[in-house]
Chain A
Amino acid sequence: MSGRPWKLWWTQILAILRLEVRKSFLGKRAIVIYLLAASQVILFGVHAVAVARGWDHCRGTEDFGVFAAEFQLYYLRLAVFFGCVAIFMNLFRGEVLEKTLHHYLLAPVRREVLVAGKFLSGLATAVLLFGAGAVLSFLIVASHVASLRHQEFLAAPLPGHLAAYLGVTVLACLGYGAVFLMMGLLFRNPIIPAVAVLIWESITVFLPPLLKQISVIYYLESLCPVRAPFSGSGGSALFAISGEPVSAWLAVPGLIALAAAVILLSALRIRKLEVNYGAE
């Protein structure tokens, strides 16, 4: 096996994925994550039912604008963000609190492989849940527009938008996931740094363009297919992206590079990790 480490590592990553899904993402504790992922579907589902019953009316393609705003202001900034906090911070921190991390550390697995396996299991879960949430909610909006405003529906580039929203969700899980995985390894109480990240991600709209670029949300919103209708008055205008959005050619590799760098740092950190539950 020593001659073909990649094959062994891949087998071990799959074993970690299987174990993580079984012990962390199928239990009652995962309900919060499911609810966050389902929240947008529920929101647009309720709207679709209201339109169908005549309690509300369909605004045609305007509804896609509402979806864009909701996706950027709520889904990315809150649902996916806190979903990633719950999933990725607990990958290591949760095991330290439950005093079960040593089971992994006493297996013949390189610690870097353990980081990779845990990250991929978190990413798979997050992408599956939040990707499904994004796709389903978009399809709900599209379906009622299609049923009521057929011409407008046909005119919209829907498959491209759907793929873009899915892609942005995947990148959000990748970027936030890597950051929160590392925080779970670095901090005894990672909630405080998580709140700091949330605040930073929220206030970047008030910051100069250079500082704005040191945030995940800036790149994610740049990749969204529809600029949300922030121009109007109201609280949502506070979160408008000022300045030019970054091109996809820069944003996508940039987010992937950020995630890779943070995962690399986590791998370096875990090499020095000691199990000393008593001191926690």
Chain B
Amino acid sequence: MSDDRILFEDVSKFYGEVLGVNRVDLSIPPGITTLVGPNGSGKTTLMNLMTGLVRPGRGRIRVLGIAPEEPERLFRLLGYCTQFDAFPRALTGHQFLYCYLRLHGLGHAETERLVWQALERVGMTEAAHRRVAAYSKGMRQRIKLAQAMCHQPQVLVLDEPLNGLDPMARAEAIALFRELAADGRYLIISSHILHEVDQISDQVIMLTSGYVVAEGQIQAVRSEMHQEYPMQVLVRCDHPGVLAARVFEQDHVVEVKMHADRKGLLVSTRDGERFYELLERLVLEGVINLESVAPADEDVHSVYEYLIGSEGGAS
């Protein structure tokens, strides 16, 4: 049993007769792991299972070697920013963080220090003594983030953490996530905003209807799909016609489209490695001069479209 991973072993969860997740096997390394999938795909269920808010019907979960049934150990190294947008009434932002942090058994001075540190990290020091009930949606989101990270956990589970944040706050939050990941922490983030997922993820877990359909680094996931969904590469060069003639000779190339301005090609290939070798050879032989080469569908959005389809509702 690996104590440096978050492990799901054959985990299933049903809510009555409704499937939450089914037969999930995952091994999550440090860094930013994003859960991607449409509404009802099981993202939140996975997070709730990981944190013991719901219990699996079958299977086993370990967070760095600790079972979710041991909250007294688990939540010393894990913080969870849930999607629930509810707070105890009558508490200010500072009181909210302070009161729940005292549950860790910390003294007053240490708690105060950690609370103000967390408030500062999410830019909420000025609003600290206002009641949470009077906060805007974005402020509530930030105070939840502060609560999840105020005890400086090794694992952060963040359910749609960018919801309600304005563009500036989003950029700051993403920078914060990167900083935390660079420290060797584990960040599990669910999101349905795919271009943000692309920006922040070290690896993705794609879910649909309670099943994990792909996991790993997005390039690796994409390369595993080349037989079914040939990889698309955009090439801009000085002799696209010549290039088109040469690539058509390759058995792994399935389609070539000429750009409207006749200065580039969109090549579909089942073997990206061999295609790039061909390009390199043509350049070395002086047959073409490249302007640019870029994969056209090696991002989360494309993989999502191929695996889950546009009905998923992600943007």
Contacts and interface: CB of A to CB of B under 8 A. Distances in A.
A242 interface: no
A109 B72 CA distance: 5
Contacts of A99: 84, 86
- Name which of B82, B86, B87 has the most chain A CB atoms within 10 A of its CB: B86
Interface stretch (B99-107, B200-208, B228-236, B298-306): B99-107
B87 A12 contact: no
A107 B84 CA distance: 16
Contacts of B52: 105
A53 interface: no
Interface size class of chain B, counting residues whose CB lies under 8 Å from the partner chain: 20 to 34
Interface string B84-108: 1011111100010001101111000
A26 B90 contact: yes
Given A11-B105, A12-B105, A27-B90, A19 B100 contact: yes
Contacts of A106: 51, 53, 71, 75, 79-80, 82
Contact of B103 (A15, A26, A275): A15
A256 B126 CA distance: 49
B105 A100 contact: no
B99 A19 contact: yes
Nearest to A107: B103
A18 B108 CA distance: 13
B86 A108 contact: no
Contacts of B76: 108
A105 B71 contact: yes
Interface in A229-275: 271-272, 274-275
B86 A107 contact: no
B48 interface: yes
A277 interface: yes
B55 A103 contact: no
B74 interface: yes
B73 interface: yes
A111 B51 CA distance: 14
A27 B53 contact: no
B73 A276 contact: no
B256 to A, nearest CB: 50
B17 to A, nearest CB: 13
Interface string A186-223: 00000000000000000000000000000000000000
Interface string A81-104: 000000000000000001110111
A150 interface: no
Contact of A18 (B74, B87, B102): B102
A98 B54 contact: no
Nearest to A271: B69
B174 to A, nearest CB: 23
A108 B55 contact: no
B81 to A, nearest CB: 9
Contact of A100 (B15, B88, B104): B88
Interface string A149-192: 00000000000000000000000000000000000000000000
Nearest to A277: B84
A271 B68 CA distance: 11
B276 to A, nearest CB: 47
B54 A15 contact: no
Contacts of A275: 48, 53-54
Given A275-B48, A277-B84, A109 B71 contact: yes
Contact of B86 (A22, A100, A110, A279): A100
A106 B76 CA distance: 10
A26 B91 CA distance: 11
Q: Which has the most chain B C-beta neighbours within 10 Å: A8, A15, A274, A277?
A: A15
The 5 A-B pairs of least Cβ separation, nearest first, read A99-B86, A15-B102, A108-B75, A107-B103, A23-B88
Interface of A: 1, 8, 11-12, 15-16, 18-19, 22-23, 26-27, 98-100, 102-111, 113, 271-272, 274-277, 279
17 contacts: A1-B105, A11-B105, A12-B103, A15-B99, A15-B103, A15-B105, A16-B103, A26-B90, A100-B87, A100-B88, A106-B53, A108-B71, A109-B103, A110-B72, A113-B72, A274-B55, A275-B48
Interface of B: 15, 48, 51-55, 69, 71-76, 79-80, 82, 84, 86-91, 95, 99-100, 102-105, 147
